[in-house]
Structure 1
Amino acid sequence: MQKNTPSRLLRPLLHCAAAVLIATGAGFATAAAPQVQTQVPGYYRMMLGDIEVTALYDGAIEIDTGLLKNLRDEDRDRLLARHFLQAPKVQTAVNAYLINTGDKLVLVDAGAAHLFGPSLGHVAGNLRAAGYDPAQVDVVLLTHLHGDHINGLIDADGKAVFANAEIWSAQADNDFWLDEEAAAKAAQEVQPFFKMARDAAAPYRASGRWQTFGTDRDIVPGIASVAAPGHTPGHSGYLVGSGERKLLIWGDIVHNHAVQFAQPEVAIEFDVDSEAAVATRKQIFARSAEEKLLVGGMHLPFPGIGHVRAEGEAYEWVPLEFGPVNAQSGD
């Protein structure tokens, strides 16, 4: 007599279950989940000694590669291709940096708001996503007064977004961008940029919270301005330091990482003084490489933080690796 083993007893039940699944059209594979199609919040946080640095993503915009100057088209296209980029349009990020020194909450640049299109204008939203509120910001440091760095100072009604903050800008940029007589003398096509600067500054100037500095100086403890003229007359970086490790937030030293690290003499159409901008870029590159500074760039691929390595007469961008907040502290 054949024994009823467990497998023999279960076999009819399995046949029955399979028949039901076939009859009802059911299967073991489930339907695909719907695509989410949204990105993570645009912030990246790291520690620089005991200072917390949070990169904030304002967004990205495409720029025409024809705006790059002082190189042949074939050289430009070769350098772009090395980074899997192609003329005539390339993406450039717009970044800002939030620094918590423990005593002060300091924002470097405020982004573009929505005056350059819907792909930009996310600094305030990403600041909130990072756990802060614009009302908590004590100081806003401006690298320069171009619209993609200052339009985020005000909302759609022209009111101050950073209601409790002092705003600091280089005197040379104030003298250039905020002077109505200088604006009137400017070419017609650039006059809107003068108006953007005046509009963004207006509520802070009216309340007495718009401050200026002349030369390199400490603005708040642990953060000093670094003159970097050329892109604009008062274009400035900010050196953030705690102990031996320092971060140079350099503003618009680079607009296209694929081309300008390899050929630092390449300028961009937006430079007010391209000759001075090239000289400043070479000096900042050399210093960053020699001192092994961390650097943060407003138009480097987000989060825009990394190192500069010298390669003969050229340089190479070495981005920081993603990691836990304390992994970069150096402690």
Structure 2
Amino acid sequence: MSSRNDPTEPSRNDLVLVTGATGKQGGATARRLLAARRAVRALVRDPESPAAQELAAAGAQLAVGDFDAPESLAPALSGVGAAFLVPPATFSPNGWDTELEVERGTRFIAAARAAGVEFIVFTTVASYTEDGKWGAQGKRLVEEVLQSSGLHWTILRPARFMENYFMQGFPVDGINDGVHKHLFPADRPVQSIALDDIAVFAHLAFEDPARFHGQVLELAGDDPTMPAAAAAITAATGHAVRYLEGTEAEAEAMGPEVGEVWRLSRQGQGWHADIPALREIHPGLRTFDMWLAETGAARLKSLLDG
């Protein structure tokens, strides 16, 4: 965690624009804010989608907009005091489209400033010990744009999502035929965080922007080894799950950046959130076992039963 001091303090306007509101982090954050009776405007591309309609039913305003349609951002940001920024993913088989990611983030920050938004919570990606290459370059550049924008800001850098165990049809992650396959070394701890806890940190920042302005928070709630996590899933669901470590060749086949992560993780690099310090800020920060007991095991059991 790090911080940058600023003598001025942001004021609080209750209306929060949540981007990515029908996705994972944005959806969790929108639901958390609505449950806390904060006014939420959700940026959506399709207001008729089930996820958008669910947010509307929970009390969110819907604003139709798109990062790639600049003219749609100004109306969405009108009257907004703060925003949750999570630009759409730009990963393809050819790797990360850094230029597009930076363009989207920069465009949104400029539109927010023009609209009079005072505070942005920007969620990016956790840094490796030496800020490894997996998805970081574009996000770090947008972080720099935000930090120099004149706006008040908080940057959240979440590690791997615990909910990634729900993924299906991908070469790594998820559970297939009792096997959880990934690229991480079996003998090293791997940090992860529950989506709902990312939402908690965002909510805390929106509630007290003066306190959280200038902070960069690396986020994780636990760090079991992958075999230990598989054993915990086995115990919680009654389905035998084992961990299978992917090879360097398999990582390279997914792209050069993935291969680089495989090598970095075997050089001792990894995510490095200060979990005890984060728990001081958010005492309910979920461990992996807590996440399983709360929601994870039931969802996983349903998937594995199927």
Query: TM-score under structure 2 normalisation?
Result: 0.32
Greater share of strand:
1
Greater relative contact order (CA < 8 Å, ≥ 6 in sequence): 2
Query: TM-score under structure 1 normalisation?
Result: 0.30
